[in-house]
């Protein structure tokens, strides 16, 4: 009996629980949807979803989508999932894009660089006036990799808020403007952009999420204008130090791209560019010209100071205008600084040396590490730990950037009337100033540099140095820039090349002196043999990762602005590594000795021939006057001859 009673009580309790759960499910459907429905839909196979859809008026059929070895990624459809008329049922809301990978390209399906660009603001005429990139969450792909399903990551519900506000003033209509998707190919370090260029208009509600009987769910797809272009990076450094001095140069950072002339003809002048990037400051980059020293440091790359202390016989010191800073790391440099503490200020250490380059047969201070070589070094660096944007080791970069700069993600709109300024204090010494250590600086100020410039044929006419000076690009960028410009001019579509200046940063490059360890000194201090080699320098600079254009604005004569989204693959922008400026050049002793010997010889000749100078001067004077005397004699003879005739 007790067992039967227990069973009855259990059944009774379970019945009550069932009633409660039923009530919860009826009145709070979003609770179960978040737990069950959403994950279930995200995990459904892409072809299972597509096989039940009508796309462009036709029922989906794989046979209608042939593969193409030269094909690209194309949009299939954009799905708004479970948008609700009721706030308490919005928990299942999500946005999904389906793609046709016609070229069967191999992608890193779940990489953080996979993104989608969508409109997030509208003007008073209901036209999009700002776009933003959002992450893509991989959901599914077909077994052959042709069809993809991604979910738009809208963690802060930014898209949802925009859509809800728009719908309230437009009879429930929801607009989704999608300009592009960016997907990372296997083996690449930057995503590739693919044009979507669609406006997806949703109205009504799915069953269970609103009054679907009177307002059935519908969707239509319309085309929108986009600007497809390639993006290139360029930089410019004046010859001298900036106003900050201390081995710092100003660096003007730019990108260039092309725009079809038809947009300017239809919408007016290009007046603003909206862009984004991820900004970081590199750690110290060491360039050495001594092979033995290079090999020693190379064996200690990425080792901490403690690990490398007993392995290296070399250290190095970095000199500034105000002090000599002894750096540690790669060897027992802290001990070196302590040993010389009575003579020099010790202000910092390098715990790990990550960047190292060899100048081969060129003096280190005259050797440049190209942007391409530096970027390749970063890409091939074998580090550990956290990655920036899932691709470069964070240990290569500082956890701060320059004053007035913002680390990591930057979002900026450059206006056509924005101006940039640079300063350059350049050391200018003649041989006399070099001989006596006199420094003379010439100041040049580059101001009123336009933020946006439409490049004309006049701008690219002249020598390499002249063109680069006019455009404020480095001569190492010249060949690529001219190739890009000429390719655009020769294309079938009339397009113009634009230069976009977006940031002035500091480039730091300082001489380095290599020192050698001899023996262990007193109190555990390391004894060093002073300088061994001065054929080295150290630099650091700003890196702009995943630089990308989002949209551009045109303004006509009446002041009407039109925003057009941009489809461009992101790039990494970083300048070349160059030696210190304003370093006094060595005197040309051969010329100086020859000049001194010449002066001595002249003095000797003057002393030896001094007694004979009056006679020599007289002879020289007679020789100089001789032509005039001859001319006078001729005229006198002519005069006498005339007199006789008369």
Residues 276 and 502 sit within 8 Å (Cβ to Cβ): no
Q: Kindly state the DSSP code that residue 328 receives in the 8-state scheme.
A: -
Q: How far apart are CA 253 and CA 575, in angstroms?
A: 9
- Residue 23 and residue 100 in one domain: no
Answer whether residue 190 is part of any domain.
yes
Q: How many domains does the chain have?
A: 4
- Residue 292 and residue 377 in one domain: yes
Q: Long-range contact list for 432-440, CB < 8 A, 24+ apart? A: 434/584, 434/585, 434/587, 435/587, 435/592, 437/584, 439/584
Residues 578 and 373 sit within 8 Å (Cβ to Cβ): no
Answer whether residue 593 is part of any domain.
no
Backbone torsions φ then ψ of 535, nearest 5 degrees: -90, 65
pLDDT at 592: 56
Answer whether residue 291 is part of any domain.
yes
Pairing mode of beta strands 227-228, 561-567? parallel
Answer whether residue 502 is part of any domain.
yes
- Residue 195 and residue 244 in one domain: no
- Name residue, tokens 């299972």: 48
- Residue 140 and residue 276 in one domain: no
- Residue 254 and residue 298 in one domain: yes
Residue 286 CB burial class (10 angstroms; 0-12, 13-18, ≥19): buried
Backbone conformation region of residue 272, classed left if phi is above 0, alpha if psi is from -120 to 50, else beta: beta
- Residue 346 and residue 407 in one domain: yes
- Residue 519 and residue 628 in one domain: no
**Among the three residues 191, 224, 257, which one is the final residue of a domain in this structure?**
224
- Residue 238 and residue 218 in one domain: no
- How many C-beta atoms surround the C-beta of residue 296 within 10 A? 18
**Among the three residues 515, 550, 573, which one is the final residue of a domain in this structure?**
573
pTM over cut 0.75:
yes
Answer whether residue 601 is part of any domain.
no
pLDDT at 595: 61
Which two structure tokens, joined as six digits, stand for 535? 């054929």
- Residue 500 and residue 481 in one domain: yes
- Residue 254 and residue 349 in one domain: yes
Q: How far apart are CA 365 and CA 539, in angstroms?
A: 11
- Residue 50 and residue 148 in one domain: yes
Q: How far apart are CA 52 and CA 31, in angstroms?
A: 27
Answer whether residue 581 is part of any domain.
no
Range of the domain at 640: 609-645
pLDDT at 516: 73
Q: How far apart are CA 562 and CA 128, in angstroms?
A: 9
**Among the three residues 511, 545, 573, which one is the final residue of a domain in this structure?**
573
Report, as ranges of residue numbers, the positions in the chain whose pLDDT lies below 70: 1-39, 304-313, 319-351, 426-441, 517-531, 582-596, 605-606, 609-610, 612-613, 616-617, 619, 621, 624-625, 629, 632-633, 635-646
Which two structure tokens, joined as six digits, stand for 200? 């997806």
- Residue 309 and residue 370 in one domain: yes
Which two structure tokens, joined as six digits, stand for 297? 């440091």
Answer whether residue 586 is part of any domain.
no
pLDDT at 338: 28
Answer whether residue 597 is part of any domain.
no
Residues 50 and 76 sit within 8 Å (Cβ to Cβ): yes
Q: Determine the Cα angle at 487 with ends 481 and 492, to 5°.
A: 150
């Amino acid at each position: 009996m007790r067992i039967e009673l227990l069973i009855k009580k259990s059944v009774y309790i379970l019945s009550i629980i069932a009633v409660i759960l039923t009530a919860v499910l009826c009145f709070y459907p979003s609770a179960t949807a978040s737990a069950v429905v959403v994950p279930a839909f995200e995990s459904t196979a892409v072809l299972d979803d597509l096989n039940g859809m009508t796309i462009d008026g036709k029922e989906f059929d794989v046979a209608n989508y042939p593969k193409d070895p030269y094909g690209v990624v194309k949009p299939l459809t954009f799905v708004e999932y479970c948008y609700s008329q009721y706030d308490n049922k919005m928990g299942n809301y999500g946005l999904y894009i389906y793609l046709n990978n016609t070229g069967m390209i191999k992608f890193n399906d779940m990489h953080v660089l996979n993104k989608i660009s969508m409109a997030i603001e509208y003007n008073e005429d209901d036209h999009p006036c700002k776009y933003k990139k959002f992450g893509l969450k991989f959901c599914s792909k077909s077994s052959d990799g042709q069809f993809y399903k991604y979910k738009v990551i809208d963690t802060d519900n930014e898209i949802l808020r925009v859509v809800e506000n728009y719908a309230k003033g437009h009879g429930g209509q929801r607009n989704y403007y999608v300009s592009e998707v960016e997907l990372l190919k296997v083996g690449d370090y930057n995503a590739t952009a693919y044009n979507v260029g669609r406006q997806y208009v949703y109205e009504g509600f799915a069953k269970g999420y609103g009054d679907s009987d009177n307002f059935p769910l519908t969707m239509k797809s319309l085309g929108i204008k986009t600007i497809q272009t390639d993006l290139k990076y360029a930089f410019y450094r004046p010859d001298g130090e900036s106003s900050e001095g201390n081995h710092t140069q100003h660096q003007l950072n730019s990108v260039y791209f092309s725009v079809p002339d038809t947009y300017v003809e239809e919408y007016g002048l290009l007046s603003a560019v909206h862009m984004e990037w991820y900004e970081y400051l590199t750690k110290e980059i060491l360039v050495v010209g001594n092979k033995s020293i290079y090999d020693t440091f190379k064996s200690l790359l990425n080792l901490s100071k403690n690990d490398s202390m007993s392995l290296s016989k070399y250290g190095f010191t970095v000199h500034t205008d105000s002090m000599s800073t002894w750096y540690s790391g790669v060897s027992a440099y802290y001990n070196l600084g302590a040993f010389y503490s009575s003579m020099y200020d010790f202000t910092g250490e390098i715990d790990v040396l990550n960047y190292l380059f060899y100048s081969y047969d060129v003096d280190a201070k005259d050797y440049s590490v190209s942007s391409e070589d530096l970027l390749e070094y970063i890409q091939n660096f074998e580090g550990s730990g956290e990655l920036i944007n899932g691709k470069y080791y964070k240990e290569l970069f500082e956890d701060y950037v320059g004053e007035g700069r913002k680390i990591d993600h930057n979002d900026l709109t450059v206006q056509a009337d924005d101006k940039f300024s640079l300063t350059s204090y350049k050391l200018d010494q003649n041989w006399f100033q070099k001989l006596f250590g006199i420094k003379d600086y010439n100041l040049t100020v580059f101001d009123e540099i336009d933020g946006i410039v439409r490049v004309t044929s006049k701008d690219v006419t002249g020598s390499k140095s002249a063109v680069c000076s006019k455009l404020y690009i480095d001569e190492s960028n010249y060949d690529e820039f001219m190739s890009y410009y000429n390719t655009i001019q020769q294309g079938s579509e009339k397009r113009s090349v634009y230069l976009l200046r977006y940031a002035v940063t500091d480039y730091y490059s300082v001489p380095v002196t290599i020192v050698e360890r001899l023996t262990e000194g007193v109190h555990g201090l390391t004894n060093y043999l002073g300088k061994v080699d001065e054929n080295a320098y150290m630099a650091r600079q700003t890196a702009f990762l995943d630089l990308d254009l989002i949209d551009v604005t045109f303004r006509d004569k009446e002041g009407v602005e039109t925003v057009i989204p941009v489809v461009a693959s992101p790039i990494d922008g970083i300048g070349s590594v160059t030696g210190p400026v304003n370093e006094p050049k060595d005197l040309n002793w051969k010329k100086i000795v020859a000049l001194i010997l010449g002066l001595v010889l002249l003095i000797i000749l003057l002393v030896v021939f001094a007694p004979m100078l009056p006679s020599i001067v007289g002879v020289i004077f007679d020789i100089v006057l001789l032509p005039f005397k001859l001319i006078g004699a001729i005229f006198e003879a002519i005069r006498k001859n005339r007199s006789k005739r008369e």
